């Protein structure tokens, strides 16, 4: 969401579209379509990623690898690339899912190509290929901008582990090898804890690892602080609050200590949902996977304390909810809804 506009991606028949809606009314403002259709039996048809807004432009990656740059006001195409052709990658079994990252004039996307073409960087203004680097070939996560050791860098979690790239050159600053095993892709975003600590989460009982990254006279060094099986996040991103992480371990909503990786509590009731942190209120907003409900949960390591829940949407919901401008936005593969959020006194 940017200002009073919502940007998203949809499948409309044989057209894969990037679409802009009014956040106030839900009316469509513009759409841009490509003659592309991706589908599979588990998640259905359509693009998987979220568009990125930067300096008046929308950057959107489709499920088969079409990377578009569009004018955010009108949807007018500015440039387009095919990341499959540029990297030699194959379309992943679940489709390309990485949201483009724009930093220092370069648009970075995960491609998963062979021979050092895991991650691609394009000039944001022209679409010209700026660099290709990295070795990981399986990921449904997105490039992640971070500052570690005082240096801005792009982190990418893949089947090979975690790699840090220079945003404009693609030079590999450091890498932590942690194979996910059995051809399994990593999905969730790395979580930044501080200027020197980062979490990598992996599903299918591989676990979550805390890394300590430092920069010295001899270059970069990374050290494992702990690895835990208390949470194995698959496609459900986790959140960090006051020394603890909250997220999903399969169908269990879970709290884990950041100090030692020990689990504090784990409870059912939300399926494999999604969670947002409302940090200023110390609350977690949880979207259930199958019942289409939103629950408010107190962010405390003592026990799960649900404060209430209400129905927001019909059917399976794997998309992240969004809270912006006093409104809650939710969507799935079939519909989208908006709810106004009010304070307890009704104002």
> Does the structure show a pLDDT above 70 at 259?
yes
pLDDT tens digits for range 165-204: 999 999 999 999 999 988 899 999 999 999 999 999 999 9
pLDDT tens digits for range 60-82: 999 999 999 999 999 999 999 99
pLDDT tens digits for range 325-347: 999 999 998 899 999 988 666 55
CB atoms within 10 A of CB 163: 23
**Separation of alpha carbons 297 and 95, rounded Å:** 33
Phi, psi of 127 (to 5 degrees): 85, 0
**Separation of alpha carbons 234 and 204, rounded Å:** 7
Give per-residue burial for 79-88: e unless 16+ CB within 10 Å, then b.
Answer: bebebbebbe
Q: What is the pLDDT of residue 346?
A: 52
Which domains does the chain show, CATH number per domain? 236-347 (2.40.128.630)
Mean residue pLDDT across the chain: 96
Q: What is the pLDDT of residue 43?
A: 86
**Separation of alpha carbons 118 and 83, rounded Å:** 11
Compute the average pLDDT of residues 268-295.
96
pLDDT tens digits for range 107-159: 999 999 999 999 999 999 999 999 999 999 999 999 999 999 999 999 999 99
pLDDT tens digits for range 301-315: 999 999 999 999 998
Compute the average pLDDT of residues 281-306.
97
* pTM for the model: 0.95
Q: Strand order of the sheet with strand 106-113?
A: 101-103, 106-113, 117-123, 129-133
In the chain, % of residues over pLDDT 70: 99
pLDDT tens digits for range 52-62: 999 999 999 99
Nearest 5 degrees, angle CA 246-CA 249-CA 255?
Answer: 30
Tell me the sheet residues that pair with 101: 108
Of the candidates 116, 155, 165, which has an alpha carbon nearest to the alpha carbon of residue 137?
A: 116
**Separation of alpha carbons 252 and 266, rounded Å:** 6
């Amino acid at each position: 969401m940017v200002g009073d506009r919502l940007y998203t991606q949809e499948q409309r028949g044989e057209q894969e579209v990037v679409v802009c809606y009014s956040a106030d009314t839900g009316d469509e403002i513009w759409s841009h379509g490509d003659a592309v259709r991706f589908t599979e039996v588990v998640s259905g048809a359509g693009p998987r990623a979220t568009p990125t807004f930067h300096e008046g432009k929308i950057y959107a990656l489709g499920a088969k690898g079409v990377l578009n740059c569009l004018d955010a006001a009108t949807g007018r195409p500015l440039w387009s690339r095919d990341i499959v052709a540029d990297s030699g990658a194959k379309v992943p079994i679940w489709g390309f899912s990485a949201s483009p990252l724009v930093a220092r004039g370069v648009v970075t996307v995960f491609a998963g190509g062979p021979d050092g073409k895991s991650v691609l960087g394009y000039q944001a203004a022209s679409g010209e290929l700026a660099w290709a680097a990295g070795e990981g070939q399986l990921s449904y996560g997105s490039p992640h901008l971070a500052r570690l050791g005082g240096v801005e860098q792009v982190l990418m979690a893949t089947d090979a582990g975690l790699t840090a790239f220079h945003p404009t050159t693609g030079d590999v600053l450091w890498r932590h090898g942690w194979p996910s095993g059995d051809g399994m892709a990593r999905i969730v975003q790395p979580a930044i804890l501080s200027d020197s600590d980062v979490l990598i989460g992996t599903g299918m009982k591989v676990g979550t690892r805390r890394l300590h990254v430092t920069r010295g006279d001899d270059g970069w060094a990374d050290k494992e602080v702990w690895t835990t099986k208390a949470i194995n996040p698959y496609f459900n991103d986790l959140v960090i609050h006051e020394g603890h992480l909250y997220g999903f371990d399969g169908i269990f909503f879970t709290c884990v200590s950041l100090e030692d990786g020990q689990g504090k509590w784990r409870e059912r009731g939300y399926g494999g949902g999604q969670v947002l942190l409302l940090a200023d209120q110390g609350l977690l907003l949880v979207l259930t996977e199958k019942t289409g409900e939103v629950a408010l949960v107190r962010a405390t390591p003592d026990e799960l304390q649900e404060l209430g829940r209400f129905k927001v949407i019909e059917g399976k919901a794997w998309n992240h909810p969004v809270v912006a401008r006093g409104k809650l936005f939710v969507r799935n593969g079939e519909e989208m809804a908006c709810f106004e959020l009010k304070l307890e006194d009704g104002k």
